[in-house]
Amino acid sequence: MKKRKLGNAGLEVSALSLGCMGYGKGRVIDDREEMISVIRYAFEQGVDFFDTAEVYGPWSNEEMVGEAVAPFRDQVKIATKFGWNIDQKTGDHLGGVNSKPAQIRSSVEGSLKRLGTDYIDLSYQHRVDPDVPMEDVAGTVKALMDEGKVRHFGLSEAGANSIRKAHAEQEVTALQSEYSLWTREPEDEIIPLIEQLGIALVPYSPLGKGFLTGKIDSGKKFSDADLRGRIPRFSEEARESNQALIDLLNTIAVRHGATPAQVALAWLMAQKPFIVPLFGTRKKERLDENLGALNVELTADDLDEIEQAAATIKIEGARYPDEILKLSGR
């Protein structure tokens, strides 16, 4: 397994990370044992960087991940997140964000218990809380690090101003934000900033929530429980227009004997050495396919061709509904 380092602190992880959100977010995970087997299979393939969050469930996902990695806890890095307004006694999601120091402490203590561990390798603030100064958030995490409960501090979907403030108080190891061939906004300001500060990028949805696999056409119907059914970018009209990006990926994929998903992941890793894509899958065969991206070596000519062609493709539709977008980039 190829490795990459996150941040100046030198946290070394597998070059691809497995996101466990899709393994179940309800109070009960019906296929829990099957999903645990997927996590353990990923470890057998060399993946040692796993991502979860307090809010996934809440709580059931962290408990599942903790059970899955228990046999090899000291050989993996676990990332989890705090920052939503969750009742720490009942687990009820009360809506909105909450990064008050007491809430952060309670959340981290709960995560430690659910994960069955003495420390969290990487603790992200899931979304910026506009009512809590970033200096207070970073200061609280710094105290938790001094106590040995957290080893590295991260931010998720934070804007440049929040990143600067947090990093000035406590070194930020990684930023988790959406970034892919069809979500390239971080290139304007965020990536140059974190490169300057020595912060890694862990891009979630590197396959565009499945679209960049080439398996979602304009006729795909989404269930009521599927968030994509509410995302403007996944409207039938937008998917039909955005198919041009899949055609581009297919062209490069055929050249390398690869799949569109593998090319999309390889493109991300080729952008910067401090980028560690975070993908999710419920199937071992898809996990194998995604890990195959590590063997796809895009040439300079490939990257130039992708860049020139992508510049002519206008991606239609917002990446999230407005109520979710407003929580990002602060």
The answer to whether the predicted template modeling score (pTM) of the entire model surpasses 0.75 is yes
Tens digit of each residue's pLDDT (9 = 90 or more) over 294-315: 999 999 999 999 999 999 999 9
C-beta pairs of 233-240 under 8 Å, 24+ apart in sequence = 233/182, 233/208, 233/315, 233/316, 233/317, 233/318, 233/319, 234/209, 234/317, 235/317, 237/316, 238/316, 238/317, 239/211
- H/E stretch holding 6 reads strand 3-6
CB contact set of 217 (below 8 Å; sequence gap of 6+): 239, 243
* pLDDT at residue number 206: 96
> What is the residue-averaged pLDDT of the chain?
94
Given pLDDT bands bounded at 50, 70 and 90, which one contains residue 268?
very high
Flag whether pLDDT at 26 surpasses 70. Answer: no
Asked, for residue 107, whether it belongs to a domain, the answer is yes
Lowest mean pLDDT among 20-34, 120-134, 220-234, 293-307: 20-34
Asked, for residue 319, whether it belongs to a domain, the answer is no
Asked, for residue 243, whether it belongs to a domain, the answer is no
Asked, for residue 235, whether it belongs to a domain, the answer is no
Flag whether pLDDT at 240 surpasses 80. Answer: yes
User: Which phi and psi (to 5°) does residue 49 adopt?
Assistant: -130, 110
Instruction: Please name every residue paired with 51 in a beta bridge, in sequence order, or none if there are none.
Output: 19, 79
Within 135-237, strands assigned E span 153-156, 172-176, 200-201
* Residues labelled as active-site residues: 56
Which residues constitute the domain of residue 181? Answer: 3-213+259-297
The domain that holds 34 is classified in CATH as 3.20.20.100
**Mean of pLDDT values over 156-185:** 97
Tens digit of each residue's pLDDT (9 = 90 or more) over 119-165: 999 999 999 999 999 999 999 999 999 999 999 999 999 999 999 99
Asked, for residue 323, whether it belongs to a domain, the answer is no
Asked, for residue 292, whether it belongs to a domain, the answer is yes
Cα–Cα separations (whole angstroms), residue 323 to 4, 126, 147, 318: 34, 16, 36, 12
Asked, for residue 7, whether it belongs to a domain, the answer is yes
> Which of the pair, 259 or 22, is modelled with greater confidence?
259
For residue 23, the number of C-alpha atoms closer than 13 Å in the C-beta half-sphere is: 28
Q: How many domains does the chain have?
A: 1
Given pLDDT bands bounded at 50, 70 and 90, which one contains residue 221?
confident
Flag whether pLDDT at 25 surpasses 80. Answer: no
Asked, for residue 320, whether it belongs to a domain, the answer is no
Query: Counting every residue, how long is the chain?
Result: 330
DSSP structure string for 36-90: HHHHHHHHHTT--EEE--TTTTTTHHHHHHHHHHGGGGGGSEEEEEE-EEE-TTT
